[in-house]
Each structure stands twice: as C-alpha cells, then as structure tokens.
Amino acid sequence: MKPWKLVCFGLSLSVIALHSPQAQARDSANSAAKQPSISGIVKDQYDDPLPKAQVIVEPGNYSATTDESGKFRIQAPVGEYNVVFRHLGFGPEDFSWRARAGEGTELSIRLNPLPQALDTVVIRDSHNKAAGASSISGIVYDRQMKPVTGVELQLLGTGRHATSYERG
C-alpha cells in the first residue's frame, strides 16, 4: 500500500470518531445540565399533595402535570417567565420565574379551593314532631372525600342554619 492511502484512511477514522453517538450524547448531556429548571410540589389547603395539577410556563408553552405525589419539573431556556399553577376547583396561583443558566428553582405552592355553590340537599324526617326535639348531624365532604369547612347549612322552613366546622 502506498503511504498516501494510509494517511487518507487515518483521516476518515478521525471524522467518524467525531460523529459517533457517544460524542453526541456527551454534548447533549452538558447542554442539558446548563438549562434552567423549575420543580417542586403543589399542595391543597390541607398541605396534602395535589395530583394532576397543571403547571404552565409562559411564554413558550412549557408545561407539566403533577404526579400522584404533587411533584413536577420543567426545563426551559434562560429567560423570564410567568408560571401558572391550576387545578379544577382551586384558584390559580402565579409565580414570576427568572431562569438562569445552570440554576434550578424549587417551590412549594398551595392552591386554595374556590367557593362552590352546592345543590340543595333535602332530608325528610318521618318522626312525630309532637314527641320532642330532634337533631340532624352529618359531615360535608368534597369530591375527594375531604371534609369541607365553612359550608352554610339551612333547615328550610324553620329559620335555622349552621356552618360546617373544620372537620366538615
């Protein structure tokens, strides 16, 4: 083999090595490490994790949904963003985020429930009113079977009313 052919063969091996998948993976790992991130947990009014809450980073339409433990993580380029946290039945919360290279921001966000008008519940009593006093008791629950505080209860036709306590 002539010497110039060996040199050309050696150059082609160098080019292949520069474009190997391992070299590309290393480069993308370095750039991902520098990209800012925002992560944390979304909780309800009882400080319990809130699964399936939406986390939206704008501009750019970056988003995530919290997992079963209320946690999320989003990466975005360096910049200034508005982060909106929302869940059905809860008021949204906003957070201004300045994303800086190589930095992560960790949050704990609490969403407060929206006041809801409940359908009227009718309870009929079949006892003899002349026999004496009676009482009604119960617990007001939300869709997740958690007690709801501050619900106004009225006993129609009697002028009596009450408000649910901290345990519903």
Q: Is the pLDDT of residue 86 over 60?
A: yes
11 lies in some domain: no
Domain count, the chain: 2
73-80: long-range contacts (C-beta < 8 A, 24 or more apart)? 73/37, 73/38, 73/39, 74/37, 74/38, 74/39, 75/32, 75/35, 75/36, 75/37, 76/35, 76/36, 76/37, 76/38, 77/35, 77/36, 78/36
CATH of the domain at 60: 2.60.40.1120
Note the pLDDT tens digit of each residue in 111-149.
Answer: 999 877 666 666 665 555 665 666 677 778 777 777 777
Do residue 106 and residue 73 come from a single domain?
A: yes
Note the pLDDT tens digit of each residue in 27-39.
Answer: 334 444 578 999 9
Phi, psi for residue 99 in degrees, rounded to 5: -85, 120
Q: Residue 20: what pLDDT? A: 32
**Which tokens is 9 given?**
């063969």
Q: Residue 23: what pLDDT? A: 32
Do residue 79 and residue 141 come from a single domain?
A: no
Residue 7 is inside which H or E element, if any?
helix 3-18
Do residue 135 and residue 110 come from a single domain?
A: no
Domain that holds residue 135: 131-168
Q: Is the pLDDT of residue 106 over 90?
A: yes
Single-letter amino acid code for the residue at 147: P
pTM: 0.53
